[in-house]
Structure 1
Amino acid sequence: MFDSVGWLEILVLAVVGLFVLGPERLPQGAAWLGRTIRQIREYATGAREQLRSELGPEFDELRKPLEDLRGIRNFNPRTAVTRHLFDGENPLDGITGNGYRPTTPPSTPKPQQRPLAPGERPPFDVDAT
């Protein structure tokens, strides 16, 4: 329930509660809020258990579409289109931030490089200079 509430929001609520209720009634208000939340959770747990007992194995089949709906909350269109069009292969893997994808042809193996012998001159390509 409090997955998306951060410490800053809790601090703001405490300060607002301090101003609205005052320092005398703030502990009583916090206790009332805690009891109410606990009671609501108990009601929700009881309803879930009652549905589970009445529906039996069909309850898990009912939960599957609900889990799919929860997945929509974290929907990423780029991932969905990639999965749909390319069967999970991401064609954008390896692309840097500027859009450049370094390519190395798989058919050309890199030649073995050996260290130069003492006094040996490095190779020189006249056309490249």
Structure 2
Amino acid sequence: MLGINGLELVALALIAVVVLGPERLPEYAAQLARLVKGLKRMATGAREQLREEIGPELDEVDWRKLDPRQYDPRRIIKEALLDDLDDVFKPVSKGAPAAAPAVVPATEGLTSARPGPSVPLRPRLEPGQSAPYDLEAT
């Protein structure tokens, strides 16, 4: 409750009695009660309005899962990494086309100690030749 313990609450009540006096204290207590009731009524109305707009899906939400006190970055990263591994190791059915090319081990297909480039290189410029310049790229 706002970080106030019992002793502090008693001290605040005594200060209120001294400052406000016994004549005005009941009036301010009644105003505080009306304020608390009004806030409670507004919160209930907002909850009901949200329930009307969202519908039955609101009851299906696991609010404990969305609690920021449950936030553990190590667990979240671990779950995200394991989810990716599950997707990688899913077997591909024979009828469906593969979504990604097959991974080839690095040592497979090597014929010499120095493997050639896997993509074709652009022709080298002759000495003194200027590099191509694209006006639309800048």
Name the TM-score, length of structure 2 as normaliser: 0.43
- Per chain length, whose mean CA-contact separation is higher, i.e. which structure has more relative contact order (CA < 8 Å, sep 6+)? 1
- Please tell me whether Structure 1 or Structure 2 has the larger radius of gyration of its CA atoms: 2
Name the TM-score, length of structure 1 as normaliser: 0.45
